[in-house]
Structure 1
């Protein structure tokens, strides 16, 4: 009996819509509202104090992702993501009523808990469950909608703030994000195919009669406990840590370009847009590369693009705007590696048996790395007065990651065949 994979596409569209609406608004427009808030309440909230919001948010995400992974498997995905959407948009909405930075820290924790489901886990886990073919391409396209949402709402939000004030604009944005998130979470999401109802993952339409009768197919791979005792898990962890560390040079790349290329505010804004467009293209093309050539090539191309972007930024300093934009675009393209490559590296080196559990812990490691990386880069700049040290550190980290992933995938290439 031929099983339907229609819901695989419904799930992919729903994940894309949630990322577009919720991440696009809450994650990508928060800096605009933060700047407005610090201007209005300058006596009770400096930008340095408000920056602690990001520490609270990423710290909560890192701590909660293993818990979120378990809740994903235990409860109905529609309910879990609906609650996550309510937390993310509710914490965002509440900011419009605050008068000091302390409230931002509370919202950072609330939003961080919601994002622990939405940002890193929802897309990779659900796409892995519903797509056995073209998973990299589909994941790349789906995740690109977060950046696309940021680009769309980034333009709209600025105009809304000008026309109705930052508080009203924030409330309207929160309600828009809530409506999009809830509609697609409730009506579009399912955790995995249900063979007894005739559902199947894309690429499994010609599955066996046993699967059609609802009997679970044995997945190959290590259990989580077994994985921890192998060198492959720690190679995956190293690859993720150095990739996230290198990716977070993005926080310094814009500052370096602004300084080295003497960009004014308008050009700095264009550079940020180039970075975002690069990330959108990177997610799509790295996903395709993963499907055609494997996760090691995907990771190598992505990290190589970031190294090239850093080198172009350095070599082109003082030689014109084009080199600054080119370097930013290359780095943005490679920045997508942190979203696309890790789930497929895990599947390749550790198998699929406990994929979701392993990915939940690896995502936590990556998020913790992100939380501390910006401070490390800032510390290097403060102590040396130069961006060179950070650039060298990022390039070395990314090169180490390439070596580790190539070695790990070669060593495990026949484990799960």
Structure 2
């Protein structure tokens, strides 16, 4: 009995991974189900779709600030308390949405949701995975972030069924209950650091060879201080680069179905391609995490930006179903720039220790991409009658961002080289 408890305790890293994965499924299921609420809520509250969009913009702006605050909160009060508190705020937001009868209360509920959003998304997952895993860090982060896509696939069907049998208000109440349930799960099982229960990060314990630790030391560097990094031009170049790429990628992703219909596909065929796209995205997150361990975050980031350019170009010439399938798969690689790729890229460029302090800022700024992308893309469509022109412009823009990315690599590469030289 004692030996089995000891074995379970020594593998507690995987308990952490499973709990965070479940949290990402519930959270991802809710944030990826907005489209199913549009018609029921606008009709139920008697508001226009434009006002509904205003609530989403208000939420996104709040998300930017809440994401930027995650690093401070994690260091100040800890990951476990921050995330559990955020899940309570999210649950309260869903309950307020369920009972509100006025538009201004619904908008306030979305602002409340934005406050709880930051700690529960990529920034939080990257923080806790980094604390518990040194070996297979990228792969575990990829698996955990897969939960958002998986949750979206499951919840869109589940919540639609709830709305058909009851109504949209009950769908919000059920979502609030699930958020509270996963909060209790994290409260019971989650620990901020392995050292708190007498363990070391996975990969640093005595069961693993010294060779792994030596390789890790050679491949990674801690980075300069977060304050110095924020003052460096390359940091803001990185934030701008990620923001611009996210605008281009999320713009294409948001209009994928109507664009396919414009190209002659039926609504059902377009939905099938969308399904393949979402499945490919889930798998790609896992692959990107694994690939980063083999070739590094810098190479992964460059591949994702190049995939954005290639995918956007292919979207303008969907000559056959085979080409369309290839296009959505390539584009799924690009969309990881909105999730798993950014933490791995920042860790590789800015250093393993420094990235934790600056990641929230970059993710917060990049979250604005979803605010600008849809209006820009649709305004261009209204002006030209097609999405092709804006996609071609996006190709040129992403190629410029690829060049900027290599400039950033060179700028911070010099700092890393000087650090290694002084350390030697």
State the TM-score, normalizing by the size of structure 2: 0.86
CA distance in 2, matches of 1:405, 1:201: 31
CA distance in 1, matches of 2:37, 2:64: 24
Aligned to 1:253: 256
Three-state SS of the structure 2 residue aligned to 1:336 is helix
Cα pair 1:232 1:350 within 8 Å, conserved: no
Q: Which moved more, 1:346-355 or 1:104-113?
A: 346-355
2:58 to 53, 56, 59: 56
More helix by share: 2
Deviations 1:28-77 (A, max 9, x none): 22321222122334xx3111211112211110010222223211111132
Distance 1:87 1:271, change over 3 A: farther
Counterparts of 1:212-361 in structure 2, within 5 Å, are 220-249=222-251, 250-264=253-267, 266-316=268-318, 319-361=319-361
Aligned to 2:75: 73
- How far 1:227 sits from its partner (Å)? 0.8
CA distance in 2, matches of 1:156, 1:356: 35
Distance 1:330 1:93, change over 3 A: farther
Aligned to 2:33: 29
Query: Are residues 1:382 and 2:386 paired?
Result: no
Q: Which moved more, 1:7-16 or 1:118-127?
A: 7-16
- How far 1:99 sits from its partner (Å)? 3.0
Distance 1:34 1:90, change over 3 A: farther
Aligned to 1:107: 109
- How far 1:303 sits from its partner (Å)? 2.6
CA distance in 2, matches of 1:5, 1:295: 29
CA distance in 2, matches of 1:33, 1:374: 18
Aligned to 1:7: 12
Aligned to 1:400: 400
Aligned to 1:213: none
Three-state SS of the structure 2 residue aligned to 1:51 is helix
Aligned to 1:18: 23
CA distance in 1, matches of 2:352, 2:326: 38
- How far 1:111 sits from its partner (Å)? 0.6
Counterparts of 1:184-223 in structure 2, within 5 Å, are 184-194=185-195, 197-206=197-206, 220-223=222-225
Cα pair 1:299 1:402 within 8 Å, conserved: no
- How far 1:136 sits from its partner (Å)? 1.3
Distance 1:102 1:329, change over 3 A: farther
Give the superposed CA RMSD: 2.6
Specify every segment of 5 or more residues in structure 1 that has no aligned partner in the other structure, as ranges.
209-218
Three-state SS of the structure 2 residue aligned to 1:248 is helix
Cα pair 1:16 1:142 within 8 Å, conserved: yes
Counterparts of 1:54-203 in structure 2, within 5 Å, are 54-179=56-181, 181-194=182-195, 197-203=197-203
Distance 1:5 1:370, change over 3 A: farther
Three-state SS of the structure 2 residue aligned to 1:21 is helix
- How far 1:187 sits from its partner (Å)? 2.1
Deviations 1:164-220 (A, max 9, x none): 2222233223212321x21332123223332x7422111111499xxxxxxxxxx83
CA distance in 2, matches of 1:177, 1:225: 35
Cα pair 1:279 1:334 within 8 Å, conserved: no
Cα pair 1:380 1:390 within 8 Å, conserved: yes
- How far 1:88 sits from its partner (Å)? 1.3
Cα pair 1:5 1:201 within 8 Å, conserved: no
Distance 1:46 1:323, change over 3 A: farther
Distance 1:193 1:110, change over 3 A: same
